[in-house]
Amino acid sequence: MSTGSRSASALRLGVNIDHVATIRNARGGLAPDPLRAALIAAEAGADGITAHLREDRRHISDHDIARLSRELDLPLNLEMAATAEMLDIALRHRPHAACIVPERREERTTEGGLDAAGQQAHLAPIVAALGDAGIRVSLFIEPAPHQIEAAVALGAPVVELHTGTYCDAMGEARLVELERLRAAAQLGARHGLEIHAGHGLAYDTVGPIAAMPEIRELNIGHFLVGEAIFVGLHASIQRMRALMDEARPDGPRERAAASGQS
Ligand SMILES: CC(=O)[C@@H](O)[C@H](O)COP(=O)(O)O
Ligand SMILES: NCC(=O)COP(=O)(O)O
């Protein structure tokens, strides 16, 4: 998603539209339309759209991916399991980016990161094939040093750090998770990786993550779609965008402080 108009150091927002499709699929019809959500996200300040085509197709469908690939101006980040079927779909549609995620049929959501360290032999040809097709590959991993090192060994240019444990934790435990994320972001950046983060982020958890200068993109979905029920999708995304910008080390608050205007 590195083709947006923001400055090189800016933090991009990828809006994940999976759960618009979850609501649509509850009744099996056409509404609400994930493509319409993506177009609203673009107007509201998203830099890209993320969609997870699960093997069980519980939310996003093959048809959604075809329409998003055809009709969206923003970069598309396709989240996919490391399977031959998903590789074939990615190579057919050639999204801007592909994020390889772990999947278990019985899970409620993506409960942990990809075991890049334990699955190097399986992942290597998939990472290579996506890269050769000009698709920017990221690996959705836990914020752990051995997973960062495995991503480097695999030649993936990007990692997305799973923020779910941080978001679920409370008090001191959340601070511990935050430090794990910070250390992983710093280690990855030292290795030359582009660092993304996401999963479970909400208004009350986004600030400390957005404040990490190494992190270049956040992917956020479930909370934004839920909040949209109360304030509308445009407003929910705009507020998230503003919170991200405010938290940034070079954000408006810090710039005002530096110039003595705070
Ligand atoms: C990989 C990931 O974190 C996202 O895809 C997000 O969690 C939405 O999809 P699920 O809720 O189906 O996991
Ligand atoms: N990769 C994380 C993502 O796309 C969004 O996760 P969530 O905000 O829906 O939990």
- What pLDDT was estimated at residue 252? 73
Instruction: Find out whether the beta carbon of 113 lies less than 6 Å from any atom of ligand 2.
Output: no
- Look up residue 243 and give its two tokens: 């919170």
Nearest protein CA to atom 4 of ligand 2, as residue: 219
Q: pLDDT tens digits, residue range 66-88?
A: 999 999 999 999 999 999 999 99
Spot the catalytic one: 96, 142, 199, 214: 199
Residue 199 known to be catalytic:
yes
User: Which numbered atom of ligand 1 lies nearest the CA of 58?
Assistant: 12
Report d(CA 246, CA 250) in Å as an integer. Answer: 9
Rounded to the nearest 10 degrees, what angle do helices 145-154 and 120-132 cross at?
50
Instruction: Find out whether the beta carbon of 219 lies less than 6 Å from any atom of ligand 2.
Output: yes
- The pLDDT mean for the chain works out to 94
CATH of the domain at 234: 3.20.20.70
36: in domain? yes
Q: pLDDT tens digits, residue range 10-60?
A: 899 999 999 999 999 999 999 999 999 999 999 999 999 999 999 999 999
Nearest protein CA to atom 12 of ligand 1, as residue: 109
- Look up residue 204 and give its two tokens: 């009350």
Q: Is 16 marked as a binding-site residue? A: yes
Q: Global pTM?
A: 0.95
8: in domain? no
Q: Is 57 marked as a binding-site residue? A: no
Report d(CA 108, CA 189) in Å as an integer. Answer: 31
Q: How far is the CA of 84 from the centre of ligand 2 (A)?
A: 23
Return the ligand number nearest the Cα of 113. 1
Residue 52 known to be catalytic:
yes
- What pLDDT was estimated at residue 4? 46
- What pLDDT was estimated at residue 77? 98
- What pLDDT was estimated at residue 3? 43
Cβ contact 20:225 at 8 Å: yes
73: in domain? yes
Instruction: Find out whether the beta carbon of 53 lies less than 6 Å from any atom of ligand 1.
Output: no
Count the domains in the chain. Answer: 1
Residue 169 pLDDT level (bands cut at 50, 70, 90): very high
Report d(CA 17, CA 234) in Å as an integer. Answer: 13
Cβ contact 68:76 at 8 Å: yes
Residue 79 known to be catalytic:
yes
167: in domain? yes
Q: Is 54 marked as a binding-site residue? A: yes
- What pLDDT was estimated at residue 255? 64
- What pLDDT was estimated at residue 249? 81
Q: Name every residue whose Cβ is closer than 8 Å to that of residue 70 and which is 6 or more positions away in sequence.
A: none
Res. 226: pLDDT tops 50: yes
262: in domain? no
Cβ contact 153:181 at 8 Å: no
- Look up residue 37 and give its two tokens: 């959500």
Cβ contact 59:28 at 8 Å: no
15: in domain? no
Spot the catalytic one: 79, 194, 214, 227: 79
What are the backbone angles phi and psi of residue 136, rounded to the nearest 5°? Answer: -75, 120
Instruction: Find out whether the beta carbon of 140 lies less than 6 Å from any atom of ligand 1.
Output: yes
70: in domain? yes
DSSP letter, residue 157 = S
- What pLDDT was estimated at residue 81? 98
3: in domain? no
The DSSP element (H or E) to which 20 belongs, if any, is helix 18-27
Res. 187: pLDDT tops 50: yes
Range of the domain at 29: 23-256
Report d(CA 130, CA 104) in Å as an integer. Answer: 22
Give the mean model confidence (pLDDT) for residues 115-124. Answer: 98
